[in-house]
Structure formats: structure tokens, C-alpha cells
Structure 1
Amino acid sequence: MNGASEGVIQASSRTRVKLPGRQRRTAMYRILGVVVAAIAMLIGAAVPASAAESMRVTFVRHGESEGNASGLIDTSTPGPVLTPLGQQQAEDVVDLLGDNNYDAIYASTMVRTQLTAAPMSEYLGLPVQVLPGLQEIEAGVFEGTPEANASRGYGLYPIGWALPGVIPQIPVDRFNKGTVMPGTDGLNGYVFDARVDGALQTMYDNGDRNVIVYSHGGAIMFWTMMNVENLTPIQKLQLLQTAALGNTDYVVIEGNNEDGWTLVDWNGQRFSPEPTLEAEIALQQRTLTRQLDATFNDVADAFATGDVRTILTAVKGGAADTQFSFAKFRRAVTAKITNEIGKLTSQPAESVDTGNTPAVHSQVASVPATTGNSQTAESTDIAARVSAATSSFGAKPRSSTKKSEAVDADEASDGAKSVPGTLGTRPARNGNRGQLSGIKDAITSIVRKPGKTGESTSSGTSGTGTAGDAGADSGSSGSGDGDGGGSQSNAA
């Protein structure tokens, strides 16, 4: 009896040892599922349904390009590359915005935005996804002309699209949302608005709710003016006149295409209440959960192959990615807590008036807000009255002054960025964002000089795992970046 029982036990033991491969994989899946579920429970993965309805978008204008430095309007695709100053500005964006832990990184089909996005891609370990619709407003007949003259030509059209009738010297019957930019294939305010909307909808449909988008001065400023609902026309004009976006300046909006958009932050000027600590943690929890889900799926796919080497590589990479995801989550939450403590221990910042007193920028309070009929004004007078509103086209490139010693010290001690091993072609996270020569060379090799008007490109990746084809947007002659005009106008 005892001998029989012993034989049964031995046979049972042998059966357990020789489980078929499919059953072994199923068991592994169950173990992985328990681990991921436990992690999700620990971080409170459930996010209120309302959080999924709104998207936060941080637009960043590209760094100084060779086109900017030339002083000529260049809205061609793929367009010119960055200058050394522009490359440094791209690095500085990481110090300023990197700890926001974005869901995704997007860039236009123009090389200068992809190069500007590369350091952020390295820092966050995310690919740069290239989307049509984010490129600069095509200049048409104004392509190649001095940016300094934009206020008398190129700049009049987007101002008419965004603020029809607000400046009397720009008659609404000549400059409105339906007015076509001369020399383009039907590009007017409706077409421009729709193509940016389409790019944002793609991000939304991808499930992203906290994205950073590298685009162009004119595209960012005028789309924002055409769509945000919490500013008066005068406030919008004042921003264009006194706070035109320089290279690597940023704009934050929240909302969606269906319910509308709210301006939150215009390069440091707040126009909407800052998110609460609870809201920020909920958003970061959502981001962390998505990252962990992606890691789990990668490991599960590896197990499905049945190849031991593939499985081991995926498990090692998954462990590194999980550690890095938690590190980014910690950095983002810590930054928010530090900011909240700072507000409690310092004088409250001067608030921005978003009500009926549009005196946010008092130096331009004299600009009329009527729709008067001054169509007989001299063209030189029009240029003078509008030059401030189109100053974005001619703003001087900013010097690189954003680097923070505190951030640098934190980076030096942050072990998360020395996590070994990543999956696929994701960027190495070794903490040295300066080692981007391979990325930059790969993109720079696409085009060394500004492309010809109307030229299209397939911009592939940014060297950091860029996703998506960078086919030129169906625009008109040259779909590049006039950046709104002037020396900062993205003639670049």
C-alpha cells in the first residue's frame, strides 16, 4: 500500500515536471498577471472617468534653425536643421519640462522639430512620433522673403484667420478665415485649423492624455488663438503683440476637439488654475499604468514565441522599463509636491486677469478692439499697427539660459536613468542627454539645406525610435515653418 502510494506520488511528480510548453507558458502568464495586478493595486491605478475626457497638450516651438538664422522665411518640408544654439535650446527644454512625464512625444514633418524633440525622447525613453498637420503655415508667394517684412505680407493672413476684424487696419472683407494664403494650394484658416485638429485627434485616439508636441511658432500661436475659449480677442492680440513665442517657448492647453480647449499656460503666464496635487497624481497614475501595460504586453509577446533567449531578453528589458517607469512617476509627483510646498512658503505669484479686464499686457492697451472701417489707411500705417502682432516672425532667438543647477544635480544622482537594457529600439537612458550625435546625424543627413518649395519627405524616425511616416502634409508650395514670420519666424 505504501509502495503503491509512493509510486503514485513519484508519477505525479514526474507529470508536473514534464508539463507541455503551452501549459508552462500559461502558468508564467498567470504569474505575470498577478504581479502586474498587484502593482496596479499598489499605485491606485483606477482613474476617474472624467480624466479620460480631457487631454493636456504642451506645444513647444522648435529650437533656432538655420532658416531662423538666415532671416528668410522658410516653410519648406523637411526644411533646415538646427543651429548649435538650437541644439542647446533643445537640451534646455528637458530641464524645464522633462519631469512632466508625458504619455507621448510628437513632432511635425519638419526636421527641426524632430531634432528639438530628440533630447526629450532620450530623457523619457519615448519615441518621437511624426504627425502630418503640425507643420508651419505655408508661406506661398512669401517663401524666401525677409522675415522682417512678414508684418506687411505673410503675417496678415493668419492674423485675419484668428482675429478677423479685431485690427481695423486689417479689413475683415480681405483677411478672414476663408482667405487663402497666396501661392498655396487653397490653404486658408479652415484648412489650417482642420489639419491641426486632425493631428490632435490622432493623439487622443491613441489614448494619450498628456503629450508634448514639437511644432512651429506660427502654427502654435494662431491655432491656439483660433481655438481657446477662455481669452477675449483683445487678450489674444495682446499675447501676440507682447509675448510672441521664441525658439523653444511653450504653450499648454487642455480639453478636446469635441468640448473645446482652454489655455492653461503661455510660456509661464498662467490663464487657468494650476492642477491640484490630486489631479496631477491621478494623471501620472494613468501614465504609469499605460507604461506598465505596454511592458507586460511586450513580455507576454516574447513568451508567446517560446524562444528562451527572446523571453530572457524581454524579461530583463521589462524589469528595466518597469523600474524606469516608476522612476519617472516618482520624479513627476515629487516635482508637483515641491511646487506645492514652494507656493506655501513663498509670496503668491501675481495672478493673470482672465476676466473682462484684458490688461494682462498693459503696454498694448491702446490697441483698438473695434471692427471699424479704416480700409483707406496707408499700407505703411497698416504695417506699423500690425508689426507688434507679428513680432513672432521677427523675434530674436533667445540665448540658452534655462539650465538649472538643481536639475543637473538631481540628474547626476538619479539612478533611474542608469537602468540597463531596454526593449526594441528604445533610447538608452544613461543620463547623458548630450550623446545624441547619432540621432542628430541621422536626421540631419536627410536634408542639409532647406528643401525646395513644395518638397515632401518621409521623415521616418528621429533616431530615437520615431514612429510614423513623416510624409509631407498635403499643403501648398512648401509646407514648412514660417514660424509666424520674422527672424524667429521659422524661416525655419
Structure 2
Amino acid sequence: MRAAIETEGHCMRLLLVRHGQTPANVDYLLDTAVPGPGLTELGVRQAAVLPQALVEEDIEALYASTLIRTQLTAAPLAAARGLDVLVRDGIREITAGDLEMLPGDTEHGELYMRTVFAWAAGDLGLRMPGGEDGAEFLARYDAVVAEAAASGAQSVAMVSHGAAIRTWAAARAHNVDVPFAAAHRLANTGTVVLEGSPADGWKALSWAGATVEPAGEAGPTGRPLTDPAD
């Protein structure tokens, strides 16, 4: 089993896992409202194999957002490890606001992704049309991460959402920048592994199974900067 490396202070291994596939993912819709849809048949299968995919991780605490899809994704892992799923609103998807349920593979999705990556670049006052701003998003996500770190757990998994994970990682991990996050879309049940602490900062160790390398130029993420919120 892999465990967090001890450095000065408490160093935590943090696994940010995107939920399984939903009907809105299939249709490329900006679907962010609570409680949201469940999983597709493929999403259920993805959740079922998550325990095996993370078998080498010594997970001590498991979180999910207030959206049904993350809780359904976390359930097989919770059962396999004998863990309770700690449901927290702070790690839900970035609110689409006025863009809710609009097509994500159009200018609507481009605006959504442009906004969240602007937050990661430091423009925290920019507001999603009809939704939250960057400071509000990072504050709620940071609060859940801080709670997990304060628990003393060495390794924590959080089942969250694609845009939220990519934006938070780009804003908080010192070796992940916006071009990297924009160029690396996270597939359903894809995992970003980080190590660090709220006090000392974070380093991304792997992104969807690949070691994190220095980011190059910004590029498309399957559908250029128009990933549907999930």
C-alpha cells in the first residue's frame, strides 16, 4: 500500500476522483445543479471497478459531493474499504448559473471553461453568469480539503467533478498550471493524486494515471475548452 510521505508537518495524500458517467455527460450538457442525475449503465460499471483501480491506495477517509452521481460512484469503494461516505457540499461541481443544462460543446461550454480557468489563473472576482465567483468556489473546496487534513488521515479520497477538480488543482498545485489543466481533460472515474497540506501547498503526483510533467502550451481538451460540466 502507498502512503503519504512524511515531511515537515502533516503531509496528506489526496485523491480527487471524478464520478462515473451520467446521462448529461453523454449529451454534453452543463449539468451542475443539486442533486443531479444518477449514473448510466456504463457509469455504474465504472464505479464498480473503482475499488480495484485504487487497490494500492491506503485510503483512510472517503468524501463525496452533495450530487447523487458522486455518492453512487463512491459507494462500491466505501463498501470495499468499510468506510463511511462523508458528504460535503464544498466539493460539488462549479455552478453553471445561467448556463445550466445548455450544450457544453458550444459557446456556452467555452464560456464556462474560460471562466473557471480564469479563476485558476488568479482572476477570482470573475463571476460565472448567474453563478459563483472564483473566490467562493475555492473557499468551499479548500474548506473540505482542510477538514480532511485536520482529521489526521494520511490518505483521503474525494469523489468530485471534472471542472472542479481541474480548476482546484490548477489553482492549488504548484506544478499544475492552466495550460496543463486545459490540455488534460479528466475522464469519468479518472483520478488526480496530490500530496501536501493546506499550510505547505500541494504537488500533483499523477493525473489520470500518468506522472505530471511540466505543462506545455494550452491546447484542446477533446472538445477545445468546452468540456461539459459534470
> TM over 0.5: same fold?
yes
Q: Quick one: structure 1 residues 208 and 88, their matched pair in 2 at CA, closer, same or farther if it must change by over 3 Å?
A: same
1:201 aligns with 2:146: yes
State the distance in 2 between where 1:201 and 1:238 align.
Answer: 25
State the distance in 1 between where 2:48 and 2:94 align.
Answer: 25
* TM-score for both structures, normalised by structure 2: 0.89
Alignment correspondent of 2:119 = 161
User: Which structure's residues are more often strand, by fraction?
Assistant: 2
**Residue 37 of structure 2 contacts residue 68 of structure 2 at CA under 8 Å; is this kept in 1?**
yes
Q: Quick one: structure 1 residues 79 and 92, their matched pair in 2 at CA, closer, same or farther if it must change by over 3 Å?
A: same
Gaps of at least 5 residues in structure 2 are none
Alignment correspondent of 2:130 = 183
Q: Quick one: structure 1 residues 48 and 121, their matched pair in 2 at CA, closer, same or farther if it must change by over 3 Å?
A: closer
1:179 match: secondary structure: coil
- Tell me the amino acid that sits aligned with residue 33 of structure 2: S
**Residue 98 of structure 1 contacts residue 120 of structure 1 at CA under 8 Å; is this kept in 2?**
no
Instruction: Measure how far apart 1:67 and its partner are.
Output: 2.0
CA-atom RMSD in angstroms: 2.3
Instruction: Measure how far apart 1:70 and its partner are.
Output: 3.3
Instruction: Measure how far apart 1:209 and its partner are.
Output: 1.9
Instruction: Give aligned-pair identity as a percent.
Output: 34
**Residue 167 of structure 2 contacts residue 181 of structure 2 at CA under 8 Å; is this kept in 1?**
no
Q: Quick one: structure 1 residues 152 and 230, their matched pair in 2 at CA, closer, same or farther if it must change by over 3 Å?
A: closer
Instruction: Measure how far apart 1:68 and its partner are.
Output: 1.5
Instruction: Measure how far apart 1:49 and its partner are.
Output: 7.2
| Equivalent residue pairs, number | 226
**Residue 182 of structure 2 contacts residue 225 of structure 2 at CA under 8 Å; is this kept in 1?**
no
1:259 aligns with 2:204: no
Instruction: Measure how far apart 1:391 and its partner are.
Output: 3.7
Alignment correspondent of 1:348 = none
Alignment correspondent of 2:33 = 76
Alignment of 1:49-88 (within 5 A): 50=7, 53-88=10-45
State the distance in 1 between where 2:20 and 2:49 align.
Answer: 10
Q: Quick one: structure 1 residues 49 and 158, their matched pair in 2 at CA, closer, same or farther if it must change by over 3 Å?
A: closer
State the distance in 2 between where 1:148 and 1:65 align.
Answer: 16
- Tell me the amino acid that sits aligned with residue 212 of structure 1: A
Gaps of at least 5 residues in structure 1 are 1-46, 165-175, 272-351, 360-364, 368-385, 395-484
> C-alpha deviations, 1:244-280, integer Å up to 9, x for none?
1011101001111111111111112213xxxxxxxxx
Instruction: Measure how far apart 1:138 and its partner are.
Output: 0.2
Alignment correspondent of 2:179 = 237
Q: Quick one: structure 1 residues 206 and 93, their matched pair in 2 at CA, closer, same or farther if it must change by over 3 Å?
A: same
State the distance in 1 between where 2:201 and 2:46 align.
Answer: 31
Larger radius of gyration: 1
1:93 aligns with 2:50: yes
Alignment correspondent of 2:163 = 218
> C-alpha deviations, 1:317-348, integer Å up to 9, x for none?
xxxxxxxxxxxxxxxxxxxxxxxxxxxxxxxx
State the distance in 2 between where 1:122 and 1:56 align.
Answer: 21
* TM-score for both structures, normalised by structure 1: 0.43
- Tell me the amino acid that sits aligned with residue 182 of structure 1: P
Alignment correspondent of 1:250 = 191
Alignment correspondent of 1:331 = none
State the distance in 2 between where 1:255 and 1:58 align.
Answer: 11
> C-alpha deviations, 1:37-74, integer Å up to 9, x for none?
xxxxxxxxxx9974761111001000001221233211
State the distance in 2 between where 1:267 and 1:144 align.
Answer: 26
